[in-house]
Amino acid sequence: MSVWERLIGQDAVVAELRHAAEDESAMTHAWLITGPPGSGRSTAAIAFAAALQCPVGGCGTCATCTTVMAGAHPDVEIVRSDQLSYSTEDARDLVARSSVVPADVPWHVVVIEDADRFTESAVNVMLKSIEEPPPHLVWLLCTPSVEDVLPTIRSRTRVLTLRTPGTAEVARALQERYAVDPAMAAFAARASQGHIGRARALAMDEGTRLRRQEILRIPASLRDLGSCFVAGEALVAMATEDAASICDPLDAAEEEALQRTYGVGAEGVTKGRFDRLMGRESKELHKAQTSRRKRALRDQVDRAFVDLLSYYRDVLVLQMNADAALINDEMRPQLVREAGASTPTETARRLEAIERARLALEANGALPLVAESLLVEIKDPLVRVRG
* Rounded distance between C-alpha atoms, residue 91 and residue 75, angstroms: 18
Task: Give the Cβ contact number of residue 145 at 10 Å.
Answer: 13
pLDDT for residue 387 is more than 50 = no
Average pLDDT over residues 172-194: 94
Q: Are 365 and 345 within 8 A, CB to CB? A: no
> In one letter, which amino acid is 331?
M
pLDDT for residue 348 is more than 70 = yes
Q: Are 94 and 108 within 8 A, CB to CB? A: no
Any idea which of 87-96, 170-179, 197-206 has the lowest mean pLDDT? 87-96
* Rounded distance between C-alpha atoms, residue 59 and residue 37, angstroms: 27
Beta-bridge partner residues of 112:
79, 141
Which percentage of the chain shows pLDDT scores above 70?
Answer: 93
Q: Are 91 and 79 within 8 A, CB to CB? A: no
For 78-117, how does the pLDDT look when each residue is reduced to its tens digit (9 = 90+)? 998 766 678 888 899 989 988 888 888 899 999 999 898 8
What is the pLDDT, as a whole number, of residue 292?
Answer: 83
What is the pLDDT, as a whole number, of residue 98?
Answer: 87
Q: Are 50 and 68 within 8 A, CB to CB? A: yes
> In one letter, which amino acid is 61?
T
* Rounded distance between C-alpha atoms, residue 65 and residue 41, angstroms: 18
pLDDT for residue 267 is more than 80 = no
Q: Say which residue, 268 or 258, is predicted with more confidence.
A: 258
Q: Say which residue, 254 or 370, is predicted with more confidence.
A: 370
* Rounded distance between C-alpha atoms, residue 34 and residue 12, angstroms: 14
Exposed / middle / buried, residue 188 (Cβ in 10 Å: 0-12, 13-18, 19+): buried
Q: Interior CA angle at 273 toward 267 and 276, to 5°?
A: 155
pLDDT for residue 286 is more than 60 = yes
For 211-222, how does the pLDDT look when each residue is reduced to its tens digit (9 = 90+)? 999 999 999 999
What is the pLDDT, as a whole number, of residue 290?
Answer: 87
pTM over 0.85: no
* Rounded distance between C-alpha atoms, residue 39 and residue 37, angstroms: 6
* Rounded distance between C-alpha atoms, residue 10 and residue 3, angstroms: 13
* Rounded distance between C-alpha atoms, residue 272 and residue 257, angstroms: 16
